[in-house]
Amino acid sequence: MFGHNFNERGDRMARDPLTREWAEKMDQTDELSSFRQEFYIQEGTIYLNGNSLGLLSKRAEASLHAQLESWQRYGIGGWTQGKRPWFFLAESLRGGLAPLVGAKEHEVIVTGSTTVNIHQLLATFYRPQGKRTKIVTDVLTFPSDIYALQSQLRLFGLDPETHLIQVQSRDGRLLDEEEIVRQLTDEVALVLLPTVLYGSGQRLDIERVTKAAHERGIMIGWDACHSIGAMPHEFHRWGVDFAVWCSYKYLNSGPGSVGGLFVHEKHLPALPGLAGWFGSDKERQFDMEHTFIPAGDAGAFQIGTPHILSMAPIAGSLELFAEAGIDRIRAKSLRLTGYLMALVDGWLAGMGFEIANPREDERRGGHVALVHPDAVRICKALKEEEVIPDFRAPDMIRLAPTALYTSFVEVWEAVNRLKRIMTDKTYEQFLNERGVVA
């Protein structure tokens, strides 16, 4: 009922899994439970929106304060002085970041934002030639990725209507990897896909699709915004050409925190499509020459001066991931989402809900996606009950129990409150209109 990872820990217990006592027992045996104390959690609030913005940890706060203190103490000297000198800050974070994406340290760098990094890597690796001009993506990916792809095509004088291929979905929620592979024709120059769909939470078979692209001579990149920090990756071993991600969701590094990128070592050293001063070889950067000499690793893909205060929390956050281990985080995440689905099945049957995400562990990301015609009003009612969900148009409620700080009792209580909202029909008092920011 909860997926194989969940069964290994709990389903032989004598108590009914739908009881609060069972959830309490799961928390007592949870080997990651101590990490909850590392986060600022509002008393009485159940936060299930970590797939949009993770909560602040005390480590992230401390690493931000440390950089403020460096600024206070050293002024401009902070670029080369202090515990984490700013000039090398992005490079210093590689050791904690690389294991989360299955990379070698020189293949990753903390820089930019997701969209900026997509533009950078497309400017570097999208090289339309002859009849190979098309880019394959999907119809369910995050809009910003589409805007970037359309922009890059226009820069080459190509019409996105004919040169951007969006793999369709049969149900508007999930993608079929077979259909993705069918679209990899000899007219395709590049592929960009999400590792996990932001809506339904479907995890794509990254290894399989990457292999299929390479067998056809196609470059392939991945947007890992909705998977990094929630599950392991093996980008190097799988041969992924490039990848991008943000750090403010499961990595818990704060609103607008600096993103990151991966470039496989087979493409290094590479001349970035968008060159900037901070992509220079560190030994030559202050020579101030007008000839760009790129770093010999993924650092070459940096553009402008890094946002030090937005990058600082990543250092503290990565400490927690190193201590918890991404494999243990993934195992607990699957147990939490499996338990949430079991409660929905047991308590909300007949109330109009449908679970939109895949149920299989290997196909599921870090959140549960519930579809309901009154999703907007239900989300508003949940917030009144101090449960923080996430709405996605037109009818999706995303619930993301986060392994480092969500308890099983919180999952139980959240669905219990949702059941009460539906039974008492309290959601009907709210307007069926989303806010400007959903």
Whether residue 277 is annotated as binding a ligand: the answer is yes
User: Which residue in the list 74, 142, 292, 430 is annotated as catalytic?
Assistant: 142
Name the residue with tokens 């991404």. Answer: 326
Whether residue 402 is annotated as binding a ligand: the answer is no
| Sign of the alpha-carbon dihedral angle for 303, 309, 310, 314 | positive
> Pairing state of beta strands 390-392 and 354-355?
unpaired
User: Which residue in the list 35, 87, 125, 248 is annotated as catalytic?
Assistant: 248
The DSSP output letter for 132 is: B
Whether residue 427 is annotated as binding a ligand: the answer is no
Q: Is 278 a catalytic residue?
A: no
Whether residue 162 is annotated as binding a ligand: the answer is no
373 upstream amide cis, omega within 30 of 0: no
Whether residue 401 is annotated as binding a ligand: the answer is no
Whether residue 111 is annotated as binding a ligand: the answer is no
Distance CA 143, CA 150 (A): 11
Instruction: Give the C-alpha distances (Å, rounded to integers) separating 195 from 110, 138, 365, 437.
Output: 19, 12, 9, 24
User: Which residue in the list 94, 203, 249, 332 is annotated as catalytic?
Assistant: 249
Secondary element (H or E) of residue 38: none
394 upstream amide cis, omega within 30 of 0: yes
Task: Name which of 141, 142, 205, 145 is nearest 168 in CA terms.
Answer: 141
Q: Is 223 a catalytic residue?
A: yes
Whether residue 395 is annotated as binding a ligand: the answer is no
Instruction: Give the C-alpha distances (Å, rounded to integers) separating 146 from 119, 135, 225, 351.
Output: 11, 11, 15, 35
- Residue 296, token pair as written in the block: 């010999």
Distance CA 240, CA 223 (A): 11
Residue type, 207: E
Q: Are 395 and 389 in contact (CB under 8 A)?
A: no
Secondary element (H or E) of residue 52: none
429 half-sphere exposure, CB direction, 13 A CA radius? 9
Whether residue 115 is annotated as binding a ligand: the answer is yes
User: Which residue in the list 36, 330, 377, 398 is annotated as catalytic?
Assistant: 398
Q: Is 142 a catalytic residue?
A: yes
Whether residue 317 is annotated as binding a ligand: the answer is no
Name the residue with tokens 């009907």. Answer: 428
Whether residue 138 is annotated as binding a ligand: the answer is no
Whether residue 141 is annotated as binding a ligand: the answer is no
DSSP secondary structure of 25-69: HHHHT-TTGGGGGGB---TT-EE-BTTTSPPPBHHHHHHHHHHHH
Distance CA 1, CA 338 (A): 8
User: Which residue in the list 138, 223, 297, 374 is annotated as catalytic?
Assistant: 223
Q: Are 257 and 67 in contact (CB under 8 A)?
A: no
Binding positions for pyridoxal 5'-phosphate are: 114-115, 142-145, 223, 226, 248, 277, 305
- Which residues have a catalytic role annotated? 142, 223, 248-249, 398
Binding positions are: 114-115, 142-145, 223, 226, 248, 277, 305
